[in-house]
Amino acid sequence: MAGLQSQDFARISATTFRPPDVRHDFEVAKLIDVSKCIGCKACQAACLEWNNLREEVGFNIGVYDNPHDLTPNTWTLMRFTEWENAESGNLEWLIRKDGCMHCADPGCLKACPAPGAIVQYNNGIVDFVSENCIGCGYCVKGCPFNIPRISQTDHKAYKCTLCSDRVSVGQAPACAKACPTGAIVFGTKEAMLNYAEGRITDLKSRGFKNAGIYDPPGVGGTHVMYVLHHADRPQLYANLPQNPRISQVVELWKGLTKYTGMAVVGFAAMFAFVHATVARRNDVSRAEDREAEHLIDEEAARGREA
């Protein structure tokens, strides 16, 4: 958050106010080259360190994933998959650095009901603004990558910030700085796409014929991208979605439902108002009061007889 101001906002959650969009930043991107990753978790440690977070000591259940899932403190997590490649007969160790993808069309932001709790900067970074977060968990359901986590301590949502505080002063994210193999690189989105080209050509020359970039168009592209050796099968990498997009249910819920809801309830209230002024007053007449007396006497007499 630090250093970025409202002039830098491209989108703001739950607000009808359109950001001024006065600064036209370069779009940034982080490129994670899965083929270069050795699974050392230096990035995971750097994330905790830079963001001053602590993770609880957990349990070993026989896998390398530690902790077992993203948490309000673990904003990035190495996910390990052992996969037997039937074609080559090799056992491949696929390691993916999971975390927020900083979607160009962020589902979290679309779902969020709290004004300003989620913002997207002009440089493409999607950031959660804790002061404005109400802890409802809508973002969890908006996100196609299952990223946000709500803290049970302060009831706020947390996820990777792409080190927006570092980026705003011209620094690369802490994880990119820490990676010993250069598997994480950071720069403008254009530069990262160019860089990825070279990596993909290299991988293809080494026999990974399906090597490619993961920059899913369903969410408008992302500001965290992967180079995958098997880009045709992203699910291999701990269920990275093949074609992620904001769920149709979420689109309907946040789209049509809102407008028709407001319109229908507004119309009903209007109709009630008009009917109240136009229709004949539905009041009891003197005659009915008198007839009621007769009826009561009659029925009371009948009741006494019975």
Note the residues at the interface with ligand HEM (CB under 6 A).
Answer: 113, 136
Contact predicate 164/125, CB 8 Å: yes
Q: Is there binding between residue 36 and another protein (CB under 8 A)?
A: no
Q: Is there binding between residue 148 and ligand SF4 (CB under 6 A)?
A: yes
Q: Is there binding between residue 221 and ligand SF4 (CB under 6 A)?
A: no
Cα(170)–Cα(57) distance, rounded to whole angstroms? 34
**Tokens representing residue 66 in the block:** 């530690």
**Residue 128 interacting partner from ligand SF4, another protein, ligand HEM, none (CB closer than 5 to 8 Å by kind):** ligand SF4
One of 79, 138, 225, 243 touching another protein (CB under 8 A): 138
Report residue 252 CA to chain centroid gap. Answer: 16
**Residue 276 interacting partner from another protein, ligand HEM, ligand SF4, none (CB closer than 5 to 8 Å by kind):** another protein
**Which of 285, 76, 294 has the alpha carbon at shortest distance from 173?**
76
Q: Is there binding between residue 167 and ligand SF4 (CB under 6 A)?
A: no
Q: Residue count at the site for another protein (CB under 8 A)? A: 56
**Tokens representing residue 184 in the block:** 């994480």
Give the burial class of 179: count Cβ atoms within 10 A of its Cβ; 0-12 exposed, 13-18 middle, 19 or more buried. Answer: buried
Q: Which stretch binds another protein (CB under 8 A): 71-79, 81-89, 195-203, 243-251?
A: 243-251
Q: Which stretch binds ligand SF4 (CB under 6 A): 42-50, 77-85, 128-136, 282-290?
A: 128-136
Sign of CA dihedral 67, 70, 74, 80: positive
In the complex with ligand SF4, which residue's Cβ is closer, 138 or 214?
A: 138
Q: Is there binding between residue 220 and ligand SF4 (CB under 6 A)?
A: no
Identify the bridge partners of residue 95 per DSSP, sorted by sequence position: 80
Contact predicate 134/113, CB 8 Å: yes
The distance of closest approach from Cβ of residue 84 to another protein in the complex, given in angstroms and rounded to an integer, is 29
- Name which of residues 147 to 186 contact another protein (CB under 8 A): 150, 152, 155
**DSSP H or E run through 249:** helix 248-254
The distance of closest approach from Cβ of residue 268 to another protein in the complex, given in angstroms and rounded to an integer, is 5
| DSSP letter assigned to residue 25 | P
Cα(35)–Cα(93) distance, rounded to whole angstroms? 10
Q: Which stretch binds another protein (CB under 8 A): 173-181, 217-225, 226-234, 251-259?
A: 251-259
Q: Which stretch binds another protein (CB under 8 A): 8-16, 20-28, 196-204, 209-217?
A: 8-16
Inter-CA distances, 122 with 42, 104, 220, Å: 29, 10, 14
Cα(39)–Cα(79) distance, rounded to whole angstroms? 9
The distance of closest approach from Cβ of residue 150 to ligand SF4 in the complex, given in angstroms and rounded to an integer, is 6
What amino acid is encoded at 26 in this protein?
Answer: F
Give Cβ neighbours of residue 63 (< 8 Å, ≥ 6 apart). Answer: 80
Strands 212-214 and 224-228: what pairing? antiparallel
Q: Is there binding between residue 125 and ligand SF4 (CB under 6 A)?
A: no
**Residue 300 interacting partner from ligand SF4, another protein, ligand HEM, none (CB closer than 5 to 8 Å by kind):** another protein
215 SS3 class:
coil
**Residue 90 interacting partner from ligand SF4, another protein, ligand HEM, none (CB closer than 5 to 8 Å by kind):** none
In the complex with ligand HEM, which residue's Cβ is closer, 3 or 113?
A: 113
Residues that bind another protein (CB under 8 A): 14-16, 113-115, 132, 134-138, 140-141, 146, 150, 152, 155, 247, 249-250, 252-253, 257-258, 260-262, 264-265, 268-269, 272, 275-276, 279-285, 288-289, 291-293, 295-296, 298-300, 302-304, 306
